[in-house]
Structure 1
């Protein structure tokens, strides 16, 4: 076999490995989002690799990505568990999101091509309507919508910052359970964002986002307290 052919085969193997890692990452993230892997659950590498039918090396890559997203945390011995989000963290996460997304709205409102950008925002918004009733699909659609707004701001640093807290946001939303999360992620709660952008009303959009984020955080915190009550009695 020629060196060129061998090189091609090695490249194909790398693609397969990358795809497998991404599939594992997606499957575990979905399990965490759906609550199948509850907060505090310890993820044993041996058991997971056997259950998923993959090598521990490939699994570690997927787990490392989930850790970078904030969905997994290590203990003192380096063992990974599903993140347990505190009420204070919920408060901080949504405050940071408000700051970032308010800036994104301001930047979009200042764009000369705002009409075309708003059309893209509305198209992304439709994914929330289509996903309603399916918790994991709606969670993905909700985060994708907010990420798209940040992306359309044209500020790469803003987008990078938002993505750095998106995993924590996912963990916080999941902590409240499906009923609370589905209310927070409803289409009608997000539609006004596109309306403020279309009107070029950055100040109104910022205040709407403040209420939007505050109400979402309050519902999550309330539900977290309710779920913790039986354990404290």
Structure 2
């Protein structure tokens, strides 16, 4: 009987950590906590009404995602990306997503996969009338889905490790430039290229997509 309360407490703690993580990630992505902001544990734990231990767990996850970095004496702050880092991030994205798309092109029947990807594009279209956060999530969901459908867990894990950096690149650019990269027709072109089954064409489309996105963000 003693094990049951412990299990329930574990679930509650996990929930608090996840809620804190989501709140902090949202604050960074939307600019409420801009790049360079020092993250003071006492202040944040009081604002979020959680223990400092739970807060530290959330901050460790944000470090792994690339949203938070340790500076002098281990002090944590919201990370700032420079133009070269953004170009590097999108070059790696181009390689990963091109690989995913080529693997999809090799499938004999892509009907169901194309339907899922078109559904992700439609989700982006619906989010266009919503706030920035919803648009960011719909955009990321499209690219994450593309990698997931390839069925390559190493590829998906590699892409997920870039998610925090992708979010930070949006903060670097600002709202107007970031929104330009969330164009629904541009993402539809990727799906159309995969539908043809032409691996060379889809690699070219995705590479141009990523190069164009990086150029917009660092302009």
Query: What CA deviation, in whole Å up to 9, does each residue of 1:65-113 have, x standing for no partner?
Result: 0110000000121111111001110110000000000000000011133
- Mean Cα deviation higher: 84-93 or 165-174: 165-174
Number of equivalenced pairs: 218
Which runs of at least 4 in structure 1 moved beyond 2 Å after TM superposition?
none
CA distance in 2, matches of 1:68, 1:62: 10
Q: Distance in 1 between matches of 2:20 and 2:122?
A: 28
* More moved, 54-63 vs 211-220: 211-220
In the other structure, the counterpart of 2:212 is: 215
- Match of 1:19? 15
Q: Establish whether residue 89 from structure 1 lines up as the match of residue 89 from structure 2.
A: no
1:162 to 150, 159, 163: 159
2:24 is the counterpart of 1:31: no
How far has the Cα of 1:175 moved from its partner? 1.1
Instruction: Describe how 1:60-209 pairs up with structure 2 within 5 A.
Output: 60-133=56-129, 134-209=131-206
CA distance in 1, matches of 2:3, 2:79: 41
Structure 2 unaligned blocks of 5 or more: none
What's the TM-score once normalised by structure 2's chain length? 0.97
Q: SS of the residue aligned with 2:161?
A: helix
Alpha carbon RMSD of aligned pairs, Å? 1.0
Larger radius of gyration: 1
Give the CA deviation at 1:143.
Answer: 1.0
Q: How far apart in 2 are the matches of 1:70 and 1:127?
A: 26
Provide TM-score, normalisation by structure 1. 0.91
d(CA) in 2 for partners of 1:69, 1:180: 22
How far the C-alpha of 1:181 sits from its partner, in A, is 0.7
State the partner residue of 1:230: none
Higher relative contact order (CA 8 A, sep 6+): 2
**Further displaced range: 51-60 or 207-216:** 207-216
Provide the C-alpha distance between the structure 2 equivalents of 1:92 and 1:164, rounded to a whole number of angstroms.
14
Distance of 1:107 and 1:85 partners within structure 2? 31
SS of the counterpart of 1:112? coil
